Amino acid sequence: MNDTPGSCEVPARLPADSPRAGSHVLRWQPGFRWDGAPAEAYKAPADHWCGIARTSLAGERGEQTAFHVRYFEIAPGGFSSLEHHRHEHVVVVLRGRGEVQMGGAVHEVSFGDVVYVAPDEVHQFRNRGEEPFGFLCMVDARRDTPVPVV
Amino acid sequence: MNDTPGSCEVPARLPADSPRAGSHVLRWQPGFRWDGAPAEAYKAPADHWCGIARTSLAGERGEQTAFHVRYFEIAPGGFSSLEHHRHEHVVVVLRGRGEVQMGGAVHEVSFGDVVYVAPDEVHQFRNRGEEPFGFLCMVDARRDTPVPVV
């Protein structure tokens, strides 16, 4: 097996230069901002969400992926819409602590935890702490419109 | 605007319990392991890669997403295949430092940096440091087979 460390020899050969096709690196900055990817409003203003910024990291910037990657950050006291939809969410926590409600269950989550929200599950992300709560959220590029529970 | 902190009132109302539809949380563990998601071999053994473990986090566990989320960890000295393919990669670095070659360019990356590998770009991830280099990698669920550059 060559999946163990300590025995790797990086091939000296490197590829000849090839035309660049749009590959790039978005640089992370302290404070969880990315050069060239502005933090924006989560949704149009409404009373069913509060204190969230949304940063589009991939999939909505000219890429052809079947998915979008966004970073959401919820300020202390903030919360996302309590909603459901057919499409699934995959969330990976990067910053702080928060809680996610999925159906009748509430889970506290922090760095590295992976949250899977199944189709049609009523869900909400909340920050009851004193530090920002930030997470990546991946979704299908083609997806249905969320339905808030009001 | 309700996207500013300090003025949020979490609605007291919570949803009635609803049937659970497969939603779950995969708990992160120190050492970048996840309960219930084993680290596995990156690929079948070959001399064009070395020192990589692969953990499938979402999309290959019964979900219906159009994408897969994997965590790759490259041991010191390790490297991924130098390869190209039509499908795109979106990578978010979680652990350590590494370098990515895309076409003729080499980029050093660390926590939070987002790497987009465009279609057909020859690319390779390498760890020339002394700590593990770990990153999330998102890809389309339906994708072509990588072609190693040998």
- Interface contact A140-B66, CB threshold 8 A: yes
Contact between B91 and B61 (Cβ < 8 Å): no
So what's the pLDDT on residue B16? 55
Contact between B82 and B48 (Cβ < 8 Å): yes
Residue B111 class from Cβ within 10 Å (0-12 exposed, 13-18 middle, 19+ buried)?
middle
So what's the pLDDT on residue A1? 36
- Interface contact B20-A65, CB threshold 8 A: no
Model ipTM?
Answer: 0.91
- Active-site annotation of A, residues: 137
A131 inside 8 A of chain B by CB: no
**A35/B109 Cα distance (integer angstroms):** 14
Q: Is the pLDDT of residue B1 over 50?
A: no
User: What is the nearest CA distance from B106 to chain A, expressed in angstroms?
Assistant: 11
Helices (H) and strands (E) in chain B, counts: 0, 14
**A68/A64 Cα distance (integer angstroms):** 10
**A141/A87 Cα distance (integer angstroms):** 10
B117 inside 8 A of chain A by CB: yes
Q: Is B9 helix (H, G, I), strand (E, B) or coil?
A: coil
Strands (E), B32-141: 33-34, 39-41, 50-58, 67-79, 83-84, 89-95, 98-102, 105-109, 114-117, 123-126, 133-140
- Active-site annotation of B, residues: 137
Where is pLDDT greater, at A7 or B15?
A: A7
pTM of the entire predicted model: 0.92
Regions of chain A with pLDDT less than 50: 1-3
- Interface contact A65-B138, CB threshold 8 A: yes
A83, containing H or E segment = strand A83-84
Choose among A41, A48, A88: nearest Cβ to B3: A41
A99 inside 8 A of chain B by CB: no
Where is pLDDT greater, at A78 or B104?
A: A78
Contact between B41 and B104 (Cβ < 8 Å): no
